[in-house]
């Protein structure tokens, strides 16, 4: 099993992006559109590969927003990244980790606390406990690769010692599921956590809730 973290094990940061956009009066999904433009070289991609600092990201992202006519704060956007844990996904992960090799591939940045980018100490402790369930955690900000680059999936499989053809992968973004599927994994796009768990149960053959 391979999991994405944000938007799968935790609530989607896109919801927090929308709340920020509503608060400052810009159209919903503006942040996602900015981050989807020049997706390999924009400020977001470079930060996830640790090619720029947080301060440099803020300057670059704010310039990208300004090019679209919006005044936005890069620091406030980064503050949206830490979502709450989804109890049903944590429970499923606990069950799976007791029976199968389980790893995590996360596009993250060097902000907040730990791989899950928690915003405070109590949240960081809860996320750290969940992270202990993974046999391998591959962070884009550490390895210098980010999804959907196929090499990050290959790295996770190599480190966990698993065969892609016998592996399931969960991510909340379809673009990140495609390379996993191309490698032979059973890729599940997580839009509804409960529905995703139903699909996963049909693959593994045992209950996860």
192/88 Cα distance (integer angstroms): 11
128/11 Cα distance (integer angstroms): 16
CATH architecture of 2-12+82-204: 3-Layer(aba) Sandwich (3.40)
What local confidence, expressed as pLDDT, does residue 124 receive?
A: 80
β-bridge partners, 168: 186
What local confidence, expressed as pLDDT, does residue 112 receive?
A: 62
CATH topology of domain 13-78: DNA polymerase; domain 1 (1.10.150)
30/129 Cα distance (integer angstroms): 33
Reading the chain (209 residues) residue by residue, the pLDDT tens digits are 999 999 999 998 999 999 999 999 999 999 999 999 999 999 999 999 999 999 999 999 999 999 999 999 999 999 888 788 999 999 999 999 999 999 999 999 887 656 656 666 677 889 999 999 999 999 999 999 999 999 999 999 999 999 999 999 999 999 999 999 999 999 999 999 999 999 999 999 999 98
Each domain of the chain, given as residue ranges in start order, spans 2-12+82-204, 13-78
């Amino acid at each position: 099993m391979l999991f994405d973290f944000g938007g799968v094990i935790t609530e989607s940061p896109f919801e927090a992006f929308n709340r920020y956009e509503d608060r400052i009066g810009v159209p919903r999904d503006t942040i996602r559109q900015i981050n989807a433009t020049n997706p390999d070289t924009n400020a977001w991609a470079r930060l996830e590969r640790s090619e720029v600092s947080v301060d440099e990201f803020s300057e670059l992202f704010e310039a990208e927003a300004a090019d679209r006519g919006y005044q936005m704060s890069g620091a406030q956007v980064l503050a949206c990244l830490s979502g709450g844990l989804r109890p049903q996904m944590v429970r499923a992960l606990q069950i799976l980790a007791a029976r199968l090799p389980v790893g995590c591939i996360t596009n993250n940045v060097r902000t907040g606390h730990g791989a899950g980018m928690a915003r405070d100490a109590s949240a960081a402790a809860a996320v750290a406990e969940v992270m202990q369930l993974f046999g391998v955690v591959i962070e884009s900000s550490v390895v210098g690769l980010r999804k959907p680059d196929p090499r990050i999936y290959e790295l996770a499989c190599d480190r966990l010692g698993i065969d892609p053809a016998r592996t399931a992968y969960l991510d909340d973004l379809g673009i990140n599921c495609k390379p996993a599927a191309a490698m032979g994994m059973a890729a599940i796009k997580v839009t509804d956590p409960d529905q995703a768990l139903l699909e996963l149960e049909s693959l593994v053959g045992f209950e996860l809730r």
